Structure 1
Amino acid sequence: MFYIPCNKTKVKDHSKEWNGYSLVVAAVSVGNVGQLAADLIVSTLEMTNVGYIYDESILPVVGNNPYSAVSHSSCSLVTGCEVYECTEKQLVVVLQRTPFVKGKRSGFRKRLVKWIKEHNFNQVVILTSSFSHERLDSQLDGSQFRFLTSPSMESTIGDLFRNKLKWKQLERRPSFPAAPSGVENNNNDQTGVVYIPGGGIAKTLFTDCCSLDMNVIVLLLFCAEGDNAWHAKHLVTLLNQWLALVPISSNSEYQQTTGNWKIPPSWRLTFGSAFDPTLYH
């Protein structure tokens, strides 16, 4: 079984369980930006853990609930790929915490697409990131955020993203390696190929969903490895401009970026615990 619900008494027919819901998939990518952004969504909305994905393609891991406050004991555990739900926002989040087993990525993707189709989600949002050193010349300046939509979504809300939200569409490339200087595709040119280095399964998952005529969008940031907490906050804030998951502060741009998201307790030890200064006396 690919998906195992926490409530084992649920009916086997899930076709209407999440009908009309939005699905957020956090891709394991450079800097873990998509996963960190999903962390903020789950923590802020206090989403319910409704199940987990058990698959041979994901490296096994088990740990304590990352959303439990340090001062409170918690007996709940998390695994390598959890599924969270918020009925109020009609939102489901698939949060993968571990990398893939070598050679198993394609099989996981196919099973995930089948699961998405069975649950009849209204739209799929893939959160990811891409290597900043792989950017085109035209991507060096300005916003480091890009979006990519399926044909079905492009025809309905593509103008909203570009004209109202002022989002930049991911530039496509004529071929690999990148096109020579002076012949890069513009933002609206859909004749090239999608290129998301470091983006994990984002590109192939997007392609698979498009082939089944699903509503799917990729949101990504160019970045490098390091402390990517800011990138995650920025990415999820841009997502919030569209889905309105939390109230947006109007006091300042800084508060819009950081003021509305609840930081998970697990982020306190992102880079390990503090060292004992007496070691250096």
Structure 2
Amino acid sequence: MFIPSENTTPVFKDSILIMPAVAVGNVGQLAVDLLISTLQLPRVGYLHSDCLIPMAGNNPYATGKEDTDELHTAAEVFWAPELKMAVLQIRAPVVKSKSKRFRQLLLSWIKSSGFCRTLVLSSTHAYHRDDQQLLGPPLRYLATPSLLKSCGDALEELGWKEMERVALCPGSSESGAPEPRLRVPGGGITKSLYDDGCREDVPLVALLVFCSEGDNVPDAVTLLNHLDDWLHLLDNPNPEAKWKIPTSWRLLFGSGIPPAIF
């Protein structure tokens, strides 16, 4: 599944993997774009799978004419050895009928690479929140038991809030009502990847933000700041850095109105 850009494969053992889930507002992907652009992470390979809709385009992180024409694909891996951190960017939706297979391939690569923990950046529909989810900040997390064993204390110190279980029939308090369940509407593979991680004992945590479709750049910044509270990515190597907007975002909402129409 992973194909290195060079002849040698990077050694990911005991590193952190950060990746997005293709979800409402593409918040996770926007956050990963900011992370790659700010830390100027080099690409070391890509994931090849027929489970993703194929796509290709110019370099979204180009800094000049010399690297603008680089070809980039649907799923690429970037690597910061000094931070012991790999970043997977997914730019295309998962083929619906192949979602399970994609998750299996992804978890197989994660385990074979020896990542110490995997962080999934995702989002979920704000309009699906129940009363308890309307309180406090719009950020939640889901962590597998394996992740909680090693990082549970850190998450508790940060004061992060776990995603609540909600009733399928809000307002129902009868004894025969269904038990509250974990739901991540609009979250793509987030919940199923979390469930798979629990079954396969993979240290994985999903960070989510409640949001709506629209200009989701503020949501991405909020989510990435939330992550940085834990990893302190901006403290090393450049404590003065701010999140750097990639050049590709100039056309995030399309080009301007052509003057010729007036």
TM-score of the aligned structures, taking structure 1 as reference length: 0.84
The within-5 A match list for 1:1-281 is 2-7=1-6, 9-10=7-8, 17-69=11-63, 73-162=67-156, 164-173=157-166, 177-180=168-171, 192-247=180-235, 260-277=242-259, 279-280=261-262
Match of 1:67, SS? coil
State the Cα distance separating 1:149 from its structure 2 match.
1.1
**Is the Cα contact below 8 Å between 2:122 and 2:207 reproduced in 1?**
yes
Match of 1:24, SS? strand
Matched residue type, 2:261: L
Any unmatched runs of 5+ in structure 2?
none
| Structure-2 separation of matches of 1:139 and 1:30 | 17
| Structure-2 separation of matches of 1:158 and 1:102 | 33
More displaced 10-residue stretch of structure 1: 151-160 or 86-95: 151-160
State the Cα distance separating 1:106 from its structure 2 match.
1.1
| Structure-2 separation of matches of 1:101 and 1:155 | 33
TM-score of the aligned structures, taking structure 2 as reference length: 0.90
CA deviation string 1:101-138 (max 9, x = no partner): 23111111111111111001000101100001111111
State the Cα distance separating 1:180 from its structure 2 match.
2.6
Matched residue type, 1:6: S
Identity %: 39
Name the CA shift for 1:138/1:112 in 2 (closer, same or farther; >3 Å). Answer: same
Match of 2:192, SS? helix
| Structure-1 separation of matches of 2:26 and 2:111 | 26
Any unmatched runs of 5+ in structure 1?
184-190, 249-255
Match of 1:104, SS? helix
| Structure-2 separation of matches of 1:179 and 1:83 | 41
| Structure-1 separation of matches of 2:244 and 2:193 | 29
Match of 1:152, SS? helix
**Is the Cα contact below 8 Å between 1:247 and 1:260 reproduced in 2?**
no
Q: Size of the alignment, in residue pairs?
A: 255
**Is the Cα contact below 8 Å between 2:74 and 2:90 reproduced in 1?**
yes
CA deviation string 1:44-67 (max 9, x = no partner): 111111111111111111100100
